[in-house]
Structure formats: structure tokens, C-alpha cells
């Protein structure tokens, strides 16, 4: 009888307790999987950032540090031939030596240097970019602003990574060159000098990271390389420049949407690298759509371990039926997160609001990859990733008017009779969805030019 009572007690009390403990352990694992980076203090790298000299501390000029990573700007022509414009060794000269050669830099700033690395931009890993971003923030704890020199091949990706991760509101200006330092007609010295001028002016404070080459300033989110060789290769196809550098002026004619949130919590990026380990950065890839593209690229990347994939689609993000089928399978069987962008070079891909396919707005594929990579490093929640893409990633301008503000025209008009306006026929705008669909061609309706801030 006693054994039966004990057995019944075990069934009614111990077994439920065991089940509850197992459930608690499972929840703990799930929470840890999604938020381990925020709960555990990662081992962060340290950087030997030079201290301000006594002369710089007493000077009235701004303190600018040049964080060097190499690239063509620090390149040396092969065979010491000053006409070897395309045949050179990137990342050869040290930045301290290059800055020392700049004439009259004492007119614009007190300049120091930090040699982070010295190689082509395409040679840097994502983990190294993690270190670079932390190095820039460490430098900005001491200096008023920073110039980051990189190669131009992947400059837009490096600049956008910095834009998404650097915590400081101080100016960060990325620059480089299309010709090595020691050839005739090199653009390296002028770009370096002008970037220091932009950084020292403090006119891009709260802008996030900007890119400056060829005397033109661009937002890192919007800029792209458009030509393999020309000095004026960088452009922002949909938006244009933020401003220009002349002698002696730095002129800003447009501010990025992010600057409207200066001084508020909403300005800060959601991606604080000090809360995660560099080992948390996932594999995220890009797939390019074309006529009758097969699904092999998606299948192969998923097999390799990709957690996210950006599709560069035709038109407004369209992909082939085979790519669509492979995408659907990758989502259902592997939980891969996709971002839909256009291969056209400009234009928006709107978000459908649900599922594992997120609209990339007007980010190009390279930029969207950085955004998705960082998002997946911080969360597994697709709805949260979608929220980041449609807010911080989209950066559209919203002007709020409180209830006490009255907006009116300068001249009051009295309308005797109501005016009837025929509604404009609505045009269905394609959005990013999970379903494998063929791209929809929509004839654009003429619009007035957008007003930029």
C-alpha cells in the first residue's frame, strides 16, 4: 500500500516537476540562443590609439585621426613607374608617411594617424571590420573626428558597416583613391587632404559615416562605386551628394534622414558591437537574378551554412521561378532569412509585412547584406529584423506636427463651390513575398521631385 501511495505521489508531483524543469531548460536555451550576445560580456580587442600631444591639446585646431587600412591610396606603382595607373601594390605606404607629405595641413587640423592595417579593401574579413569599427569608436573617445582610408573596391560596404555600428556621433569620413600615391595625376593626396578638412569642419556630426572622394560628400548608406577606373566613380544614384569640398569651404546642402534624430535615443544604431562576440557574425550571401536563373545558387549557399541571403532581383526585386522555389524551400526547411533588392542600381523594393522575405527598400545588394548580417548577429526574430530594415535601414524622412501647430497658406482662399477631384487609379506596387513569382512590370507615374532635408 505504501509503495502504491509513493508511486501515485511520483506521478502527480514529481513527473510534472520534471516536465516543468525540462521546459524551463528549453526556454533558457532558446533565450540564450537569441540573446546570448547581449547577456555575455564578449572579449573585446584593444587598440593602441595614440594620445593627444601636448601641442595638440593646447591648439585651437580640431583634432583629426586618420585610421588607415591600406588600399590604392597607400599603393605603390609597380617597377617604380609613375605611369602605372592600374598596375600597383595596394597598401604599401604607411599612413604616417603619407600624412607627413601633405602640404599646409596645419591650416585645417591637427592630424594624428593609426595604422589599423595595410591591404586592399576586398581582403578584409567581416571579423576584421568588427575590429575596425571598435577601433574607430576608441579613437573618437580621444579625437574630435576620424578619417578612415580604405580601398575603393568594397569601400561602400566598409563605410556602411561603420555607419551601422560606430556608436559615436562625431564625424567619420571614409576616403581612398583611384590611383596609387606615386603616379602622375594621383588623386590620393587631394582626397586625403579634403577628407581631413571635412572631418575637421564637424559639419557631418550626427550624419553617421560619410564617404568623400573627388571633392564630393555622400552618405554611406546611399553611395556606390559606378566605374572601374574613373576618378569620379562614386555616386548616389537616387539621392545625389550631401555636399562638396571647395577651397576653403565645406558645403553641406542636404542632410541624411538620420541627422533629424540628432541627440535622441532613436539616432543610435541598434547594432552595438560591444555586446556581441565577432564569432556571432553569421554567413550572409548575395544571389543575382537573371534570365531563367537556376536555384542552384541558393541551394549551394544554404548547404554552405548561409543564415541569410540577399537577392539582387530584376526590376522591383523579381526572381526566376527556380530561384523562387529554392528560396521557399530554404525558408521552410532551414529558416533562412531573405532580403529582396533590385539589380538595377536604384529604386525601392517594398516590404510585404510578413514571412522570411524582407523588402530592402532602396539599399543595394551589398548594403542590404551588411544590414542583414548585423541583424542576424543580434537576433533570430524575423519580425525584429523586419522592423530594423523598415526603420533604421530605410531612413525615410518624417516631420511631426503637434496638435497646437496650425499649418496654412499665406493667403486665405474662399471657395464658393466644392471642387470635385476624380481619384487617380491606384497602381499595384510589387512587394517582397515568400511566393516565387515572376517580376511585375509597372509603368511609372510621373512624380514631382522629392524634397530632401
Catalytic residue from among 33, 69, 72, 433: 72
Q: Is 72 annotated in the active site?
A: yes
3-state secondary structure string, the chain? Answer: CHHHHHHHHHHHHHHHHHHHHHHHHHHHHHHHHHHHHHHCCCCCCCCCCCCCCHHHHHCCCCEEEEEEEECHHHCEEHHHCCCCCCCEECCCCCHHHHHHHCCCHHHCCEEEEEEEEEECHHHCCHHHHHHHHHHHHHHHCCCCEEEEECCCCCHHHHHHHHHHHCCCCCCEEEECCCCCCCCCCCCHHHHHHHHHHHHHHCCCCCCCEEEEECCEEEECCCCEECCCCCCCCEECCCCCCCEEECCCCEEECCCCHHHHHCCCHHHCCCCCHHHCCHHHCCCEEEEECCCCCCCHHHHHHHHHCCCEEEEEEECCCECCHHHHHHHHHHHHHHCCEEEEEECCCCCCEEECCCCCEEECECCCHHHHHHHHHHHHHHCCCHHHHHHHHHCCCCCCCCCCCCCCCCCCCCCCCCCCCCCCCCCCCCCCCCEECCCCCCCCCCCCCCCCCCCCC
Residues acting as catalytic residues: 72
Amino acid at each position: 500500500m505504501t509503495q502504491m501511495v509513493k508511486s501515485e505521489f511520483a506521478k502527480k508531483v514529481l513527473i510534472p516537476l520534471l516536465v516543468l524543469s525540462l521546459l524551463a531548460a528549453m526556454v533558457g536555451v532558446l533565450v540564450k540562443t537569441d540573446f546570448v550576445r547581449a547577456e555575455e560580456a564578449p572579449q573585446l580587442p584593444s587598440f593602441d590609439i595614440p594620445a593627444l600631444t601636448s601641442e595638440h591639446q593646447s591648439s585651437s585646431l580640431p583634432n583629426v585621426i586618420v585610421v588607415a587600412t591600406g588600399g590604392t591610396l597607400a599603393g605603390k606603382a609597380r617597377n617604380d613607374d609613375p605611369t602605372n595607373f592600374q598596375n600597383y601594390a595596394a597598401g604599401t605606404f604607411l599612413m604616417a608617411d603619407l600624412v607627413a607629405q601633405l602640404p599646409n595641413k596645419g591650416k585645417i587640423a591637427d592630424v594624428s594617424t593609426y595604422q589599423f592595417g595595410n591591404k586592399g579593401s576586398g581582403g578584409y574579413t567581416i571579423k576584421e571590420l568588427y575590429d575596425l569599427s571598435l577601433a574607430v569608436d576608441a579613437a573618437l573617445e580621444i579625437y574630435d573626428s576620424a578619417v578612415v582610408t580604405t580601398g575603393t573596391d568594397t569601400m561602400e560596404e566598409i563605410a556602411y558597416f561603420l555607419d551601422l555600428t560606430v556608436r559615436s556621433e562625431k564625424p567619420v569620413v571614409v576616403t581612398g583613391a583611384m590611383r596609387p600615391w606615386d603616379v602622375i595625376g594621383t588623386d590620393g593626396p587631394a582626397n586625403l587632404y579634403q577628407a581631413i578638412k571635412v572631418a575637421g569642419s564637424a559639419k557631418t556630426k550626427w550624419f553617421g559615416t560619410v564617404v568623400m572622394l573627388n571633392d564630393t560628400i555622400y552618405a554611406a548608406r546611399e553611395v556606390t562605386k559606378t566605374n572601374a577606373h574613373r576618378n569620379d566613380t562614386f555616386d548616389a544614384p537616387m539621392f545625389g551628394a550631401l555636399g562638396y569640398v571647395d577651397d576653403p569651404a565645406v558645403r553641406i546642402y542636404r542632410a541624411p534622414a538620420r541627422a533629424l534624430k540628432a541627440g535622441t535615443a532613436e539616432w543610435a544604431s541598434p547594432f552595438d558591437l560591444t555586446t556581441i562576440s565577432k564569432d556571432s557574425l553569421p554567413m550572409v550571401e548575395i544571389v543575382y537574378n537573371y534570365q531563367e536563373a537556376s536555384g542552384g545558387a541558393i541551394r549551394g549557399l544554404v548547404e554552405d551554412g548561409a543564415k541569410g541571403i540577399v537577392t539582387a532581383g530584376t526590376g522591383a526585386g523579381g526572381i526566376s521561378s527556380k530561384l523562387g522555389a529554392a528560396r521557399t524551400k530554404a525558408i521552410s526547411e532551414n529558416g533562412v532569412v531573405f532580403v529582396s533588392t533590385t539589380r538595377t542600381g536604384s529604386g525601392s523594393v517594398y516590404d510585404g509585412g510578413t514571412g522570411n522575405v524582407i523588402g530592402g527598400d532602396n539599399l543595394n545588394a551589398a548594403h542590404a547584406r551588411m544590414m542583414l548580417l548585423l541583424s542576424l548577429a543580434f537576433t533570430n526574430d524575423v519580425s525584429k529584423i523586419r522592423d530594423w530594415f523598415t526603420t533604421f535601414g530605410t531612413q525615410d524622412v518624417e516631420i511631426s506636427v503637434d496638435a497646437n501647430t496650425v499649418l496654412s497658406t499665406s493667403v486665405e482662399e474662399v471657395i464658393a463651390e466644392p471642387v470635385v477631384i476624380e481619384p487617380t487609379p491606384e497602381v499595384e506596387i510589387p512587394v517582397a513575398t515568400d511566393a516565387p513569382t515572376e517580376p511585375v512590370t509597372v509603368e511609372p507615374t510621373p512624380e514631382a521631385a522629392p524634397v530632401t532635408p
